[in-house]
Structure 1
Amino acid sequence: MSSEKDEKLLPQPASHRGPQSHPVSLIASSIAFYWVASLSVVFLNKTILSGSEYKFPYPLFVTLFQLLVALVLLVVCGQLGKRNRLFSTIPPFEFDLDLVRSILPLSVVYVLMLTLNNLCLQLVEVTFYQVARSLSIFFNILFTYTMLRQKTSGPAMVACSVVVLGFFVGSYGESNFSWPGLLAGVGSSIFVALYGIYVKKTLNVVENNQWRLLHYNTAISIMLLTPIVFISGEMKEIMQEVYFLNDLGFWCLMTITGVAGFLINTAMFLQIKYTTALTNTISGTAKSCVQTLMAMVFYQNPITAMNGFGIFLSLFGSGFYSWVRYKEMQRK
């Protein structure tokens, strides 16, 4: 978390320690895994929601289907873990109501994060998606202060200001601007920042076992999202208007997207566990910049000079912020 020189140094449990308690190779591997999984999810979701012959503009249903695929994979891996050493770290599925009550706040944040993320991806170009979701660092600083009473240094605040400036410049310069997409991106940034904090806090409930937490979080999220899909009218609209529901290719693409969603969920848990929630935010922002360049190549998304400058500011601010936090960690 954001802990600076004027912060009170209190002993923390293992789940709250910074990345210095883990080998550099493990930290690097968890970040690399997150990058590969996250980039796959973004481009696969964009293909499903608005970029393929199976145009399927139903972000709530897509999110629910991905969660269902993830739960099936977790249950299967948990059973395989009883007999196969390769899956031995994944425990069998469990569902204790006392634990459910403790994990419920995390699941609410998780559902909102996924839903707003997919909605943003549906409504904006992949190039603008990075700008729309670039405020994660700002909200992480805000929440670590308001929720954890941890202050942020002056240089880190300056770096964050550059990121915020990049957000406004990039938004103003976007040629295919969308207010709903922008608001969904800002909302997603809020819940990405909250998610990192809540994962760290909630891991203690399941004895610091991220797989047990993943079991509960996925199952609870499905329970929360299912009625929302029906109330929103998406299910009725899908049954009435989607003509390719019997197409095997569509469901194969949906399943592949669900598997990728499972991998990004796992990658986020591992990155947060072996680094910090703040590192998760920084890594996500840097990954988004690479993602923007890839979108320019694959989708030929138009980028104006001002939009490109906003993306540059977001990247520069994130890099400067990372350097400041690294120096502060060294001094500690």
Structure 2
Amino acid sequence: MSERSEKFLPSPAVHRAPSHPVSVIIAAIAFYWAASLSVVFLNKTIMSGSEFKFPYPCFVTLFQLIVALVLLVVCGQLGKRKRMFSMVPPFEFDLDLARKIAPLSVIYVLMLTLNNLCLQLVEVTFYQVARSLSIFFNILFTYTMLHQKTSPGAALACAVVVLGFFVGAYGETNFSWAGLLAGVGSSVFVALYGIYVKKTLGAVDNNQWRLLHYNTAISIVLLVPIVLLSGEMGEIMREVYFLGDVQFWALMTVTGLAGFLINTAMFLQIKYTTALTNTISGTAKSCVQTLMAMVFYQNPITAMNGFGIFLSLFGSGIYSWVRYAEMQRR
């Protein structure tokens, strides 16, 4: 699981002002940043940046979903006795309900797998640019599937993001067509996922945790044959010499835990802050993520590449602001 899990939660309600202590608000934002940044850098470390180089995105996704499902089941049981876990319901699986949720799970699997593949193939500094087209595809699918028009302000912000995408891609020194296409594909399914979540939530009484139960379990079932057919399992058995290393599996498990915690972190950030704080926090986190990648990985950045990164982040921030203003007016 990864950063894309943030898309799982419904859009936050608009609050006039938070009535919570400043320390609680800061803690909620810090928790979200820690979980989200950890997922990106841990996944990058696993697949291309450590002594345990493990370039198998399908298997990594499958393992992290298994960790998430185990945690969901445990939290569901603890919720029966402990109040702090009460928001997570006990695990359930109804076959008829699962059939209704299955289309969402197909999109979810493709979104996660392509996202991990993109992260494996491109630098973290370029990762945000490669996936920035989710805003464009969100507008496109909202219009073609839901017949809802986008305001001129949001469309203009989207145009800035698209320009940043092309400028950043052209200026990228370690350019990868496969990584770029994986990022675009991930953006497509991120946009579709948001639409299908809204359509599917009604089937589980608008309970995002129940939907997460079903979605995670179905995704595991879908991913098993993909891992086998992709040839990753055979290659892992032949090529990976550290399968018996406890540190490797500990790193994989921690990454799965971080992916799971994003759901809780987003829930808390939405609960304890305003909608504006939530959107600004996400954009600021993306900026810090890019800067951290420059420092930790020493990724070379050309002037054009840097300008493209700036445009994509700036356009994303303006888009978030415009959408927030529209929510306020409604």
Same fold (TM over 0.5): yes
Structure 2 CA distance for partners of 1:114 and 1:310, relative to 1, 3 Å: same
Matched AA of 2:323: R
Q: CA deviation at 1:320?
A: 2.0
- The Cα shift of 1:18 comes to 5.8
1:215 to 213, 216, 226: 213
- Deviation per CA, 1:51-82, whole angstroms, max 9, x where unpaired? 00000010100000000001111111111222
Structure 2 residue corresponding to 1:125, chosen from 123, 126, 130? 123
The answer as to whether partners of 1:130 and 1:289 remain within 8 angstroms in 2 is no
Unaligned runs of 5+ in 1: 1-14
The equivalent of 1:181 in structure 2 is 179
Match of 1:238 in 2: 236
The CA distance in 2 between the partners of 1:263 and 1:229, in whole Å, is 25
Matches of 2:211 and 2:113, distance apart in 1: 20
Q: Match for residue 330 of structure 1?
A: 328
Q: Does 1:19 align with 2:13?
A: yes
Q: Is the contact between residue 155 and residue 324 of structure 1 (CA under 8 Å) also seen in structure 2?
A: yes
Q: Distance in 2 between matches of 1:149 and 1:74?
A: 36
Can you list the C-alpha shifts for 1:205-230, whole angstroms capped at 9, x where unaligned? 11111111111110000000011000
Q: Show the counterpart of 1:51.
A: 49
What is the number of equivalent residue pairs in this alignment? 318
Q: How high is the TM-score relative to the length of structure 2? A: 0.88
Cα offset for 1:265? 4.2
Counterpart CA distance in 1 for 2:258 and 2:11 is 28
1:201, distance to aligned residue in structure 2 (A)? 2.1
Using the alignment, how far apart are the partners of 1:274 and 1:153 within structure 2?
29
Structure 2: stretches of 5+ with no match in the other structure: 1-8
TM-score when scaled to structure 1? Answer: 0.87
Displacement after TM superposition at 1:93 (Å): 1.1
The one-letter code sitting in structure 2 at the alignment partner of 1:195 is: Y
Deviations 1:80-135 (A, max 9, x none): 22222222222111110111011111111111111001000000111111110111
1:20 partner SS: coil
Amino acid at match of 1:86: M
Aligned to 1:60: 58
| Residue aligning to 1:227 | 225
Amino acid at match of 1:233: G
Shift of 1:319: 2.1
Q: For 1:181 and 1:169, how far apart are their aligned partners in 2?
A: 16
Q: 2:118·2:180 contact (CA, 8 Å) conserved in 1?
A: yes
1:6 matched residue in structure 2 = none
| RMSD of Structure 2 on Structure 1 (CA) | 2.9
Asked if residue 38 in structure 1 is aligned to residue 36 in structure 2, the reply is: yes
Q: CA deviation at 1:287?
A: 3.1
How far 1:273 moved relative to its partner?
Answer: 9.6
Separation of aligned partners in 2, 1:314 and 1:178: 18
How far off its partner does 1:330 sit? 3.3
- 1:323 shift after superposition: 2.7
Secondary structure, counterpart of 1:322 in structure 2: helix
